[in-house]
Amino acid sequence: MEIKKFEVGDVLEMKKAHPCGARRMRVLRVGSDIRILCVGCGRDVTVPREKLEKNIRKIIPSDEVDS
């Protein structure tokens, strides 16, 4: 199984959108739980890593965001 690698500052494109409709989440903190910030509404959420990884469609490295 593919291991998803991301770090603080990267943006994750999710398979399932946030209730506000946005699919992109910025990574705020990485550990056994991941803290992410919704790019659409600015709310932050803490999700267990395992659960989050299943929902990632694409990882956008921080240096490629906004390009």
> Using CB under 5 A as the criterion, which residues of the chain lie in contact with Zn ion when the complex forms?
18, 20, 22, 38, 40-41
What's the closest the beta carbon of residue 47 comes to Zn ion, in angstroms?
13
Handedness of CA 19, 67, 53, 16 (dihedral sign): positive
Shortest Cβ 37–Zn ion spacing (Å): 9
**Minimum separation from the CB atom of position 9 to Zn ion (A):** 18
Closest CB to Zn ion among residues 2, 44: 44
Residue 20 contacts residue 9 (beta carbons within 8 Å): no
Q: Cα separation of 45 and 36, whole Å?
A: 5
